[in-house]
Structure 1
Amino acid sequence: MGESKSDTAGIRTYVLLIEDDPHLGPLMAKVLRASFEVELIADGREGYERAVSGEHDVMVVDRRLPSLDGLSIVRRLRQARVTTPILMLTALGTTSDKVDGLDAGANDYLVKPFEYDELTARLRALTRRFDPQGAALPVGEWTFYPDDGCLYSPHIGRILLTPRECALLRLLAESPERTFSREQILRAVFSPEDQPGTVDTYVHYLRRKTDKDIILTVRNRGYRLGQL
């Protein structure tokens, strides 16, 4: 790994970069080493073996890789209960491509070409350290920190949520006995142009990322907080 330190209170932040492009990979590693410790791996299967060790603070995973593609890497890591934040990097920028990446378990998605300042900023956001004494909401045995966008499980540790996942879970956690209709959730959490099916999609994301019982479906009524 590199020898530089991150610029956050002198604490090393370790980045696993899985990118097979012979020119882009080394260039990305060089730029990122100004702020992070970086390990660069160009093969998908080898990258997965390093990723599953859990020794890194954040990962950047290219979607198209030899021997094991990026989506498969992310899915296998989440199935193995590896909660390390993952930024998926790809030249595929359609909405369906982004949904595939997030649905696989990625925390963020960046499309090539990109600005290195944006890449660095997104990695900092994914690894931002937070004050655990901030406002917390109970979610069964779990602890939810909505201001920091993360959830703590007693079994698998820290889970990062996207802003919309966080807003949805916050709505339910602040009124744990209430059942919300899709229309109520849509108005409270999402944009006016979104469809009711968007609510179902994000419930699915939260269940995939955390636990299937974190949100309960109340037949013909909507959703409410589950009891983990």
Structure 2
Amino acid sequence: MRTVPSRPAGAGPRPPLLVVEDDPRLGPVTVEMLAGQYDVLLVADAAGALAITEQQDFAAVALDRLLPDGDGLDVVRRIRSRGSSVPIILLTALGSLEDRVGGLDAGADDYLTKPFAATELLARLRAITRTHSVTEDVLMIGDWEFRPETRIINSPYRGRIVLSRTEAQLLHLLARHDSETLSRERILREVFPPGDVPGTVDTYVHYVRRKTDRDIVTTVRGLGYRLGTP
């Protein structure tokens, strides 16, 4: 674990950023890329990342996918399971569509394939931290508080639950049209990438219900889905 030198006096505080990278050459290079904008802490394994994120708050986490003691996706899931909405960007050589979708569905906010330019990484970090810095809308679904920007839903019984990006987009769409029944085709068009099939909608409705409450989404037979009352 290491930090870069502090910023010169008078330059103002930099937001804290966690970089999780085990490559002994790439880790310091990544820190150097980001040190002008962030106060960077570098750790080299999943255990270190999980420990430090329990002890300290960060503006964002830049996380390698392949770590010596585990998969970065498991780190993302563990962080989200605690109720943390810290912005996370995965940095990895695994760049297939399946890998990217898996990373986002695990709870990451963005996915950047190696090798990458410093300017692109900084731009991606600005984008995901900007999203998390705005004042959040809170939507009430029965007695549940849903915060679409950070994908957090607060259960009156179980506390904070973090949804994946796709789960949150689906629930947000239904919440914005709470007096309507939306067809699978419309949900597919507005939430999912081109090429997905209507059955994908059913799968993600199941995911949302499993994480929250079965009555949070109502099935309207032959027509589609609408927001329910858990």
Q: Same fold (TM over 0.5)?
A: yes
Kindly state the Cα deviation for residue 150 of structure 1 after the two structures are TM-superposed. 3.7
Residues 86 and 106, structure 1, Cα contact 8 Å, conserved in 2: yes
Distance of aligned partners of 1:214 and 1:185 in 2 relative to their CA distance in 1, 3 Å threshold: same
Amino acid at match of 2:225: Y
Describe how 1:192-207 pairs up with structure 2 within 5 A.
193-200=195-202, 203=205
The equivalent of 2:83 in structure 1 is 81
Kindly state the Cα deviation for residue 184 of structure 1 after the two structures are TM-superposed. 2.1
Residues 165 and 206, structure 1, Cα contact 8 Å, conserved in 2: yes
The equivalent of 2:116 in structure 1 is 114
Kindly state the Cα deviation for residue 213 of structure 1 after the two structures are TM-superposed. 5.2
The equivalent of 1:216 in structure 2 is 217
Q: Structure 2 length normalisation: TM-score?
A: 0.77
- Tell me the secondary structure at the aligned position of residue 52 of structure 1: helix
1:130 equivalenced with 2:140 (yes/no) = no
Q: Structure 1 length normalisation: TM-score?
A: 0.77
* Distance in 2 of aligned mates of 1:19 and 1:110: 14
Kindly state the Cα deviation for residue 192 of structure 1 after the two structures are TM-superposed. 5.3
RMSD over equivalenced CA pairs, Å: 3.2
Q: After superposition, what is the alpha-carbon deviation per residue over 1:169-228, rounded to whole angstroms, capped at 9, x for unaligned? A: 4431122132212112224445554432443465467668x7355851516443222435
Residues 213 and 227, structure 1, Cα contact 8 Å, conserved in 2: no
Find 2:97's aligned residue among 95, 98, 101. Answer: 95
* Distance in 2 of aligned mates of 1:121 and 1:203: 33
Gaps of 5+ in 1: none
Amino acid at match of 2:134: F
Instruction: State the number of aligned residues.
Output: 217
Find 2:177's aligned residue among 172, 175, 178. Answer: 175
The equivalent of 1:57 in structure 2 is 59
Residues 19 and 61, structure 2, Cα contact 8 Å, conserved in 1: yes
What percent identity do the matched residue pairs reach? 44
Residues 85 and 160, structure 1, Cα contact 8 Å, conserved in 2: no
Larger radius of gyration: 2
The equivalent of 2:69 in structure 1 is 67
* Structure 1 stretches of at least 4 aligned residues deviating more than 6 Å after TM superposition: none
